[in-house]
Chains A and B, each alone.
Chain A
């Protein structure tokens, strides 16, 4: 099932529920892609971005990517595309004070965003869930849908600030260009971990993907994200395990295997240490 809703200002929302899909796309507009159930694999050049329910991806206008879904159970995807005018108007409003707007002072057009995976949490999650709920219920009020989309962009700008701009400042290199390049490579490392969390991946694999030496990766990763690549991998595995505990009836040993853990008891210990509840008690409380 696929639902496409295009608004009069060319903003677009696509909802799809499918077990199989494969397409290449030249992105006509800036797009945010979400997955509510299952996962979608997008390829951007040589990069592989796997979108899970705890992440979302952004693709700039004009960007080419391929998308693939292959699953036994239906994968529920949701994407929001903003017309260039909508993004530029938003950017003007975001960057200017009301006085500057009245003076007609213009700021440059909206920047190209770092195409990557971002955490799908906080206000972005609340607003997208509201919007999805309205679309699922056949909401046709364009003013309301555009208001949600405006807030999604606002939420994205905040996430971008936190995940990119602030991280650049945390790196200890003196030259801005060096900091930007290092963060771009660290982003590749994070994407690789997030997209291959269920595989046996080594530090060497991650460092190769990021075009950094292992030592350089370890030092700069910790500087930017205040955790090691291994700690980030464990965080991703635990988050995905939580999602599987909440949304499936898979037995625990199967979940442990799906998220790339080898030993059930060490998974239970890590889960309990992190969340102060055992996986099964967590599943039970989620059902309630």
Chain B
């Protein structure tokens, strides 16, 4: 089942520009409630991000996007002008890099690696 991450942004139009033009991720308009316009983004195979200008309890500013190749996505996004807060770095679960959107939310690109044998 897909995981849905709720993220608050300042302006949907600016957010759409960032996700589409800078990250190269298609966005889709959706109505969350009667009066709440949102943008839906398919971040990875198991994650959807819902961007909204309105505040709600489920929102987070720390988003994890799974990738099969962190270095490839890091280079691709850097070439598109994305500034990384933290370049690719190793930790016990694998390799990750962190960038922010214009509204201060942090996105962690995570390539999970299994180091144990058998």
Chain A residues with a Cβ under 8 A of chain B: 121-123, 126-127, 130, 134, 141, 143-144, 147-148, 151, 242, 275-277, 282
Q: Are B95 and A144 in contact (CB under 8 A)?
A: no
Interface residues on B, range: 10 to 19
B71 at the A interface (CB under 8 A): yes
Q: Are B72 and A126 in contact (CB under 8 A)?
A: no
A282 and B79 CA atoms in complex are apart in Å by: 43
Q: Are B88 and A151 in contact (CB under 8 A)?
A: yes
A71 and B100 CA atoms in complex are apart in Å by: 52
Q: A123-B95, A144-B75 are in contact. Are A130 and B113 (CB under 8 A)?
A: no
A-B contact pairs, 24 of them (CB 8 A): A121-B115, A122-B115, A123-B90, A123-B95, A123-B113, A126-B111, A130-B69, A130-B72, A134-B72, A141-B75, A143-B75, A143-B78, A143-B79, A144-B72, A144-B75, A144-B76, A147-B74, A147-B75, A147-B88, A148-B71, A275-B117, A275-B118, A276-B118, A282-B118
Q: A143-B79, A151-B88 are in contact. Are A127 and B71 (CB under 8 A)?
A: yes
Closest to B71 in A: A147
A216 to chain B, nearest CB (A): 31
Chain A neighbourhood of B118, CB < 8 A? 242, 275-277, 282
A130 and B95 CA atoms in complex are apart in Å by: 13
Interface of B is mostly: mixed
Closest to A276 in B: B118
Q: What is the count of residue pairs linking A and B with beta-carbon distances less than 8 angstroms?
A: 34
Chain B neighbourhood of A122, CB < 8 A? 115
A139 to chain B, nearest CB (A): 9
Chain B neighbourhood of A126, CB < 8 A? 95, 111, 113
A130 and B78 CA atoms in complex are apart in Å by: 18
Chain A neighbourhood of B117, CB < 8 A? 275
A126 and B71 CA atoms in complex are apart in Å by: 11
B66 to chain A, nearest CB (A): 15
A92 and B49 CA atoms in complex are apart in Å by: 40
Closest to B95 in A: A123
Chain B positions 74-94 with a Cβ under 8 Å from a chain A Cβ: 74-76, 78-79, 88, 90
Q: Are B71 and A144 in contact (CB under 8 A)?
A: yes
Chain B neighbourhood of A141, CB < 8 A? 75
Chain A neighbourhood of B115, CB < 8 A? 121-122
Determine which residue in A121, A122, A130, A277 has the highest number of CB atoms from chain B within 10 A of its CB, and name it: A130
Chain A neighbourhood of B113, CB < 8 A? 123, 126
A144 and B77 CA atoms in complex are apart in Å by: 11
A150 and B21 CA atoms in complex are apart in Å by: 28
Question: 6 closest Cβ contacts across the A-B interface?
Answer: A144-B75, A275-B118, A147-B71, A147-B75, A130-B69, A126-B113
Chain A neighbourhood of B69, CB < 8 A? 130
Determine which residue in A121, A123, A276 has the highest number of CB atoms from chain B within 10 A of its CB, and name it: A123
Chain B neighbourhood of A151, CB < 8 A? 71, 88
Closest to A277 in B: B118
A151 and B115 CA atoms in complex are apart in Å by: 17
A123 and B75 CA atoms in complex are apart in Å by: 18
